[in-house]
Structure 1
Amino acid sequence: MVVAFEHLAGRVWLCAGESDPEFVQAGVAVISDERGSVLVDAGQSPSHAREIQVALRAAGLEAPRWLVYTHHHWDHVWGACAWPDVEIIGHVSGAELLRAEATRPWSVRYLREEVLRNRRLGPSYRARALAVDSWDELRVLPPSRVFTDEVELPTGVLARHVGGRHAPDSTVVVVPDSGVMLLGDSWYPPPAHLRTPADEPDLALVGRLLDDDIGWYVSSHSPPLTLDEARAAITG
């Protein structure tokens, strides 16, 4: 898959993830202007982050000064260690979870042992094994700056905690002047190894987020939706 940025609206650019769900690769976004770039999510691995960096340069976009985590799941944060000189921003509950994740002995051997203990981890852990080229370079980084409800960056970008069943730290990123809301995975059901047959997408959460002043809604593993498309999706 070619990693490339495409302009969405205003100062928001998107780099889509891998469409094959077996690779569990989330898309990322960059919000760029003369005040500095904000990266939303880090890529699923150091090598993925480096591909994103090449794509940034190819699009003529500035390297980010800030990195916002939409939540703590690996496919959104494992690339963070390859981003130099960024301030990492995330919800306080995700920071606690990532500090615990950082102590785990990530390696192919460890992944295998964990899958043998819990077979439901198989798809996620196989995707991690495919994503990481060198376990020696992987470092799981908690945010260096945490927030509880909402934080506004110097560029006017807002990070707002919404929670939900997918992850307790789920955060949406709002770019008011561009009419864009980046949803992360906030409305998705829980990860596969925690999901029950009763779990469904949280369309009510999306409904609470819809705003007439926001024209675009972007999820990490889905194509962007206009406001009208998002409304149609939640009403069935």
Structure 2
Amino acid sequence: MVAPQFHHLAGRVWICPGDPDPEAVQAGVAVVVDKRGSVMIDAGQSPAHAREIQVALAAAGLPQPRWLVYTHHHWDHVWGACAWPGVEIVGHEAAVPLLRAEAARPWSHHYLDEQVRANPRLGPSFRARARAVDSWEDFAVLPPTRTFTDADELPVGVGLRHVGGRHAPDSTVVLVPDSGVMVLGDCFYPPPAHLRRPEDGLDLGLVRRLLHDDYHWYVSSHAEPMTAEQARSAVEDA
């Protein structure tokens, strides 16, 4: 696996792709740079991944964040949060009970093995978690400390909009209008693998409803960024 690296996308937005190996279940992250305080979008899949992201930030000459935004509550987007000191964690209100329930679980390699034996459909996700976390000693699942219902805007001109969807009830898109960038997270993806039915697919209709002339880049967590032209082409029949 290649060490994470940040690449400039547009305006104030830099992106750091995740591991392209689907078995790794590693989401990419983004940062919106601002001298008043930068915004990190998603936390990394584990404390180790978060620390690699921090090294990549420093290597690119980018500041450490003041805010950490969750696009949604799934583990590969939030499990690195406990390794981000001094940030305000921002997410949709629906994430709070979900992550409090996750925080109460007795996470360990033994527990992960037990869960997979009880429900083999959890195997891909839980085996990836076991590979991602080498030590549970200082691990914690952290709910957001700043929440919103429909929309929010951080003091640095970064907007948050709840869109929900089948992938996660708290799915949020992050809007950076001065850079022409919309970060989609996983909002249009099908449900997680252990909940997915054969007929479930990408919700391209959701993406079509999000398209706007002010945005030139659409960034999802597990794929290359799409230009506006690519996004419109992908959803034209949705």
2:156 equivalent to 1:161: no
Q: For the residues of structure 1 that align with 2:185 and 2:30, how far apart are their CA atoms?
A: 10
**Residue of structure 2 in register with 1:4 after alignment:** 5
Query: What is the aligned length?
Result: 236
User: 1:96, 1:234 → 2: CA distance?
Assistant: 33
1:66 counterpart SS class: strand
Q: SS of 1:50's equivalent?
A: helix
When normalised by structure 1's length, the TM-score is 0.99
Q: Is the 8 A contact 2:3 2:52 kept in 1?
A: no
CA RMSD in angstroms comes to 0.6
Measure how far apart 1:235 and its partner are: 2.1
Q: Give 1:232's aligned residue.
A: 233
Contact 2:67 2:89 in 1 (8 A): yes
State the alpha-carbon separation in 1 of the partners of residues 5 and 138 from structure 2.
24
Query: What are the equivalent positions in structure 2 for 1:1-236 lying under 5 Å apart?
Result: 1-235=2-236
Counterparts of 2:145 and 2:4, CA distance in 1: 27
Give deviations 1:85-114, integer Å, cap 9, x for gaps: 000000011111001000000001100111
Give unmatched runs, 5+ long, in structure 2.
none
2:47/2:81 contact within 8 Å kept:
yes
**Which amino acid is the alignment partner of residue 72 of structure 1?**
H
**2: CA distance between counterparts of 1:157 and 1:33?**
10
SS of 2:156's partner is coil
Could you tell me the TM-score, scaled by structure 2's length? 0.98
Following superposition, the deviation at residue 34 of structure 1 comes to: 1.3
Letter in 2 for 1:223: E
Amino acid at match of 1:135: W
Q: SS of the residue aligned with 1:56? A: helix
What runs of 5+ residues in structure 1 fail to find an aligned partner?
A: none
Task: Note the C-alpha offset of 1:125.
Answer: 0.3
State the one-letter code of the partner of 1:146: T
Corresponding letter in the other structure for 1:166: H
1:208-231 CA distances to partner (integer Å, 9 max, x unpaired)? 000011000000001000000000
Tell me the secondary structure at the aligned position of residue 8 of structure 1.
strand
